[in-house]
């Protein structure tokens, strides 16, 4: 399902918008990276998309359904959220944390079916944490907790996945695995995936589209290889950037890398 945002505005204080007049079309089956400096409005925009905040103006629709008019239960069947890790106090084992994602389809009073447990197993396998299924969530490292929360979102089987800095607390290899998993998931399942990130490199490596958010407005958006360029990055972060390219790797690929020019400001 594609996501359409029209005329979206919101702020926490009257006459002080955090996001203002946003218009975006995010297609299904793609990974879209949301980039911007601290305070640019990325997390606020994600919360608006999920219905956790009500916009001042504008509409947010997924596959033609206005998300702002749906109930919490209806939205939970359509959209899954992986928030920034805040060390939630979950005493349960990982398998039960992931199982919680199935409650929106189970309904009250119903026990998990074999299909539900199959979905849990698949999500754990996709994130490479099958061996953590019986471990208490509280005993996990920061990176393991992050993987468990992403697995929970995968198990929800929602058409829209919204992730706030999904690679936070992961080592470089785990970051690459996570980004590859999200890209494969979008391609194979047709899910619409939006991830906020502080790393334009991650967008270049794993995303199809990029939205650059500055002061609550869209500075640029479009195909990632075109949108992430030195001029746009310099304007976005207020510091000169260059986009370098690696030498040809053993597998024949080259990779683009975003580099701030240290010691200089725009």
Mean pLDDT, each 10-residue run in order, the chain (266 residues): 91 88 90 92 90 90 84 81 69 87 64 83 89 91 83 87 87 86 84 92 93 93 95 94 86 85 66
CA distance 106 to 171: 35
The pTM of this model reads 0.85
Alpha carbons 206 and 183: distance in angstroms, whole number: 6
CB atoms within 10 A of CB 60: 22
Number of residues in the chain: 266
Nearest alpha carbon to residue 132 among 114, 116, 148, 155: 148
| Residue 193 contacts residue 113 (beta carbons within 8 Å) | no
Cα–Cα distance, 197 to 16 (Å, whole number): 24
Assigned CATH class of 3-228: alpha beta
d(CA 72, CA 80) in angstroms, rounded, equals 12
pLDDT at 35: 96
Which residues of the chain form CATH 3.40.50.300?
Answer: 3-228
- Summarised one tens digit per residue, pLDDT across range 96-141 is 888 887 766 655 556 778 888 888 898 899 888 999 999 998 888 8
DSSP string, 35-77: E--TTSSHHHHHHHHTTSS--SEEEEEETTEEGGGS-HHHHHH
How much is the pLDDT for 62? 86
Residue 143: partners with Cβ closer than 8 Å, 6 or more residues away: 169, 170, 171, 174
Q: Which helix (H) or strand (E) holds 256?
A: strand 256-260
């Amino acid at each position: 399902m594609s996501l359409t945002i029209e005329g979206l505005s919101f702020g926490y204080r009257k006459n002080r918008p955090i996001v203002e007049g946003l218009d975006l079309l995010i297609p299904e089956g793609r990974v879209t990276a949301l980039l911007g400096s601290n305070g640019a409005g990325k997390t606020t925009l994600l919360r608006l998309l999920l219905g956790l905040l009500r916009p001042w103006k504008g509409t947010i629709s997924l596959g033609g359904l206005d998300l702002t008019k749906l109930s919490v239960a209806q939205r939970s069947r359509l959209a899954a959220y992986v928030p920034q890790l805040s060390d939630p106090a979950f005493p349960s084992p990982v398998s039960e944390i992931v199982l919680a994602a199935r409650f929106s389809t189970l309904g009250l009073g119903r026990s998990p079916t074999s299909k539900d447990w199959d979905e849990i197993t698949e999500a754990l396998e996709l994130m490479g944490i099958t061996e953590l299924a019986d471990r208490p969530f509280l005993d996990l490292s920061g990176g393991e907790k992050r993987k468990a929360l992403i697995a929970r979102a995968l198990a929800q089987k929602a058409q829209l996945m919204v992730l706030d800095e999904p690679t936070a607390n992961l080592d470089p290899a785990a970051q690459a695995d996570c980004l590859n998993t999200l890209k494969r998931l979008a391609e194979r399942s047709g899910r619409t995936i939006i991830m906020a990130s502080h790393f334009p490199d991650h967008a270049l490596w794993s995303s199809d589209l990029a939205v650059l958010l500055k002061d609550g407005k869209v500075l640029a958006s479009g195909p990632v290889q075109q949108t992430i360029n030195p001029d746009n990055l310099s304007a976005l972060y207020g510091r000169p950037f260059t986009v370098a390219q690696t030498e040809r790797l053993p597998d024949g690929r080259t990779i683009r890398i975003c580099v701030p020019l240290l010691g200089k400001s725009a």
